Amino acid sequence: MNNLLIVDQNKCVKCGICANVCPSCIIAMEDDGPKCIRDRGCMACGHCVAVCPTAALSNTRCLLEDQTPIKNELISSEKAYNFMRARRSIRNFKPQLVEEDKIRQLLDIARYAPTAANSQGMYYIVVSDEKLIRKIADATADWMELEIAAGTSRARYFNSVLHVYREQGKDIIARNSKQMIFALARRLNETGISNCEQSWAYVELYAPTLGLGTTICGFIQTCAATGYEPLRELLKVPTKQKIVGAMIVGYPQYKYHRLVERQHLKVEFR
């Protein structure tokens, strides 16, 4: 039970911070330092090791030597605020495809997004095949038709989307994109969609620093969330996985010159 934590007794000052921050409450402070009281509860988040002010602690599920010291690189709140405001959903791209290495770089940051109980476990499929993307958009449109026929609450909205897609011939579903990223999670992971939303937030904010633009494909995501088989088949999704997200990516065609306003903050303090 106690071999999860490795304590360097020469460095441990018994401050108890590791026990205080442990999200699973499995660390107890004893006279000779921190002790793990329930090692199966460890979610390998690494908080206990990362927070130790004297680098006295390692965790077999999150080793001290694998952690990177934090340099004081905090950006000002004003810079962060404007940077986050400047992110826009990008739907018009230059013709060239994003290189594999760059997409790897983009997705790499998503590994650091929060996930329920540090479950992580996201899988990605990058489609750089325009014809396949058109088939995916068509399959989503077919699914919308089924929803309309079934008279679901989304029927009216989908009717107008289908009108634009089919009658006006405008790709409102996949935005004529040439590259799309799909996020997958294990089929039984109940928090897969929530985890994906967090990952997408990281990806969308990081994209502009790589000169990239992204937009979440809500119609495709919603269709995928129902487990729509034709979509699963197009992407050859393994039985044990489910699609939890879809996003287009590319080099933005246009530059934005102004920050927009949003609804005012609605908050109540009690």
Ligand X SMILES: Cc1cc2nc3c(=O)[nH]c(=O)nc-3n(C[C@H](O)[C@H](O)[C@H](O)COP(=O)(O)O)c2cc1C
Binding-site ranges for ligand X (CB under 6 A): 88-89, 91, 175, 215-219
Pick the closest to residue 257 from 93, 95, 88, 92 (CA basis): 88
Shortest reach from residue 218's CB to ligand X, in Å: 3
Contacts (Cβ under 8 Å, ≥6 apart) of 135? 234
Q: How distant is the alpha carbon of residue 126 from its chain centre?
A: 14
Nearer to ligand X by C-beta: 53 or 114? Answer: 114
Shortest reach from residue 168's CB to ligand X, in Å: 15
Shortest reach from residue 254's CB to ligand X, in Å: 12
Q: Which residue is closest to ligand X by CB?
A: 218
- Using a 10 angstrom Cβ sphere, with 0-12 exposed, 13-18 middle and 19 or more buried, the burial of residue 66 is exposed
Shortest reach from residue 248's CB to ligand X, in Å: 8
Nearer to ligand X by C-beta: 88 or 102? Answer: 88
Nearer to ligand X by C-beta: 15 or 205? Answer: 205
Nearer to ligand X by C-beta: 43 or 90? Answer: 90
Counting every residue written for the chain, the total comes to 270
Nearer to ligand X by C-beta: 175 or 178? Answer: 175
Residue 222 to residues 8, 25, 147, 160, 173, Cα–Cα distance (Å): 50, 36, 11, 16, 11
Nearer to ligand X by C-beta: 103 or 216? Answer: 216
Shortest reach from residue 89's CB to ligand X, in Å: 4
Q: How many CA atoms lie within 13 A of 252 on its CB side?
A: 17
The answer to whether 2 and 36 are in contact (CB under 8 A) is yes
Shortest reach from residue 108's CB to ligand X, in Å: 22
Pick the closest to residue 244 from 253, 232, 256 (CA basis): 232
